[in-house]
């Protein structure tokens, strides 16, 4: 039996069919009642099968985007991945069009293999599978659309070898030229601010999102410390800044107090950097490769524990993933 209640922003319909719960808020009581009747029928349609006869994989992905993704950090990127998961075709039709009642582990395995054939790294496909698995699990446990989660029977691809891409000076120079950056000249255009972010990343080993989030409130120019209130591992971090890092920040055009210093959104930074990289004919370079290059450089200046503290790594094994000095370079220092 559905429960219809008046709430601050409209009318809330709640249903519970054999332990499967769902709710939604509507502007009018009539819309709430109509949805409740339809939704109860959908949940009852699962009886005797493995999943809903009226919902598709696409419905799971879309509702997950609307209800779950906004509660997470990185929601924008998660939504893009969910769209990508649904668009992939298997056996000639989009993966998102499969009815949940028909969904089997073989479908997910075929989707996995198609992604791998696209050249996507095993570790990336595994992360996409984790996201899809959680969406299917929510559809099972909270929405009552599935009896079991078929992902649990699908083998994950092996992780790809850790990336060890460094950024030689010639490539740095080529990308800076493509971005329109000239040392000592005013930084005005968005592409030039991307160039400063690129150089700042090479100097500090900070991630792109951390850099673009810097404001006058989080950077202390006097003590040369950047305060990152929330990082990838969920913890705050203080990043010491070199004289060069402070110099780079000082090149940026003035912004309102408390506004992001780089005045860039991630999508713009990503698009402008990729365009410049391609224009410079620099193959296989990502902005995140600056973290590998920066950590490898900083390892020559800092003790391991100091470096881990600066980069936010909680153990040295994780830090070693980013330390990519070549054996020949180390040999030269041996004498």
Confidence check: pLDDT of 190 > 90: yes
Q: What is the CATH number of the domain that holds 156?
A: 1.10.150.130
Q: Are residues 283 and 189 in the same domain?
A: yes
| pLDDT single digits (tens) 73-86 | 777 888 989 999 99
Q: Mean pLDDT throughout 228-232?
A: 80
Q: Which residues contact 119 (CB under 8 A, 6 or more apart)?
A: none
- Active site annotation includes 93: no
What tokens were used for 242? 């070199």
CB 60 within 8 A of CB 139: yes
Q: Are residues 39 and 128 in the same domain?
A: no
What tokens were used for 290? 């600056």
Separation between Cα atoms, residue 54 and residue 156, nearest integer Å: 29
Q: Residues 96, 269, 277, 313: which is the catalytic one?
A: 313
Counting the structural domains of the chain, the total is 3
Question: Phi and psi dihedrals of 18, rounded to 5?
Answer: 55, 45
Q: What is the CATH number of the domain that holds 305?
A: 1.10.443.10
pLDDT category, 212, cuts 50, 70, 90? very high
End-to-end CA distance of the chain: 81
Q: Are residues 81 and 196 in the same domain?
A: no
- Active site annotation includes 88: no
What tokens were used for 163? 């990336």
Confidence check: pLDDT of 47 > 60: no
The DSSP bridge pattern shows strands 10-17 and 20-26 to be: antiparallel
| pLDDT single digits (tens) 65-123 | 999 998 887 778 889 899 999 999 888 889 999 999 889 999 999 999 999 998 888 88
Q: Are residues 148 and 8 in the same domain?
A: no
Q: Percentage of residues in the chain with pLDDT exceeding 70?
A: 95
CB 40 within 8 A of CB 18: no
Q: Are residues 136 and 173 in the same domain?
A: no
Q: Residues 81, 269, 291, 322: which is the catalytic one?
A: 322
Q: Percentage of residues in the chain with pLDDT exceeding 90?
A: 53
Confidence check: pLDDT of 36 > 70: yes
pLDDT score at 244: 96
Q: Are residues 228 and 301 in the same domain?
A: yes
Q: What is the mean pLDDT of the chain?
A: 89
Q: Are residues 115 and 218 in the same domain?
A: no
Per DSSP, 36 falls in state H
What tokens were used for 253? 């055009």
Q: Of 161, 180, 199, which residue is a domain's last? A: 161
Tell me how far the alpha carbon of residue 228 is from its chain's centroid.
18
- Active site annotation includes 64: no
Q: Residues 232, 244, 274, 279: which is the catalytic one?
A: 232
Q: Of 142, 161, 180, which residue is a domain's last? A: 161
Q: Mean pLDDT throughout 209-227?
A: 94
Q: Are residues 128 and 224 in the same domain?
A: no
Q: Residues 79, 81, 207, 291: which is the catalytic one?
A: 207
Nearest to residue 270, comparing CAs of 168, 190, 335, 160? 190
Q: Of 110, 133, 161, which residue is a domain's last? A: 161
pLDDT category, 46, cuts 50, 70, 90? low
pLDDT score at 1: 62
In 3-state terms, what secondary structure has residue 20? strand
Confidence check: pLDDT of 37 > 90: no
Confidence check: pLDDT of 289 > 60: yes
pLDDT score at 243: 95
Is pTM beyond 0.85 here? no
Q: Are residues 70 and 198 in the same domain?
A: no
pLDDT score at 330: 78
Q: Are residues 153 and 205 in the same domain?
A: no
Q: Mean pLDDT throughout 228-237?
A: 79
Q: Are residues 101 and 79 in the same domain?
A: yes
Confidence check: pLDDT of 241 > 60: yes
Q: Are residues 283 and 303 in the same domain?
A: yes
Q: Which residues contact 287 (CB under 8 A, 6 or more apart)?
A: 198, 201, 208, 269, 270, 273
| Domain interval for residue 28 | 1-44
Confidence check: pLDDT of 174 > 90: yes
């Amino acid at each position: 039996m559905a429960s219809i209640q008046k709430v601050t922003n409209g009318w809330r319909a709640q249903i519970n069919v054999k332990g499967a719960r769902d709710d939604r808020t509507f502007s009018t009581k009539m819309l709430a009642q109509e949805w409740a009747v339809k939704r109860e029928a959908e949940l009852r349609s699962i009886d005797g099968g493995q999943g809903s006869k009226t919902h598709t994989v696409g419905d799971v992905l879309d509702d997950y985007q609307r209800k779950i993704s906004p509660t997470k950090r990185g929601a924008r990127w998660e939504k893009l991945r969910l769209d990508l998961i649904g668009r992939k075709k298997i056996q000639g039709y989009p993966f998102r069009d499969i009815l949940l009642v028909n969904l089997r582990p073989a479908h997910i395995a075929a989707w996995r293999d198609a992604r791998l054939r696209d050249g996507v790294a095993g570790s990336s496909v595994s992360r996409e599978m984790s996201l899809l698995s959680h969406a299917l699990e929510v559809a099972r446990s909270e929405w009552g659309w599935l009896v079991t989660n078929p992902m649990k029977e699908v083998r994950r691809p092996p992780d790809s070898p850790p990336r060890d891409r460094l950024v030689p000076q010639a490539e740095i120079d080529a990308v800076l030229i493509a971005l329109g950056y000239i040392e000592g000249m005013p930084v005005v255009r968005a592409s030039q601010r991307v160039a400063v972010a690129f150089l700042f990343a090479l100097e500090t080993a900070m991630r792109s999102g951390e850099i673009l989030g810097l404001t006058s409130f989080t950077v202390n120019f006097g003590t040369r410390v950047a305060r990152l209130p929330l990082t990838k591992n969920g913890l705050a971090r203080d990043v010491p800044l070199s004289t060069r890092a402070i110099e780079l920040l000082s090149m940026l055009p003035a912004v309102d107090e408390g506004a992001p210093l780089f005045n860039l959104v991630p999508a713009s930074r990503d698009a402008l950097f990729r365009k410049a990289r391609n224009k410079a004919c620099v193959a296989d370079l990502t902005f995140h490769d600056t973290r590998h290059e920066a950590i490898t450089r900083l390892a020559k200046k800092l003790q391991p524990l100091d470096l881990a503290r600066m980069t936010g790594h909680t153990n040295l094994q994780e830090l070693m993933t980013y330390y990519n000095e070549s054996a020949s370079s180390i040999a030269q220092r041996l004498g």
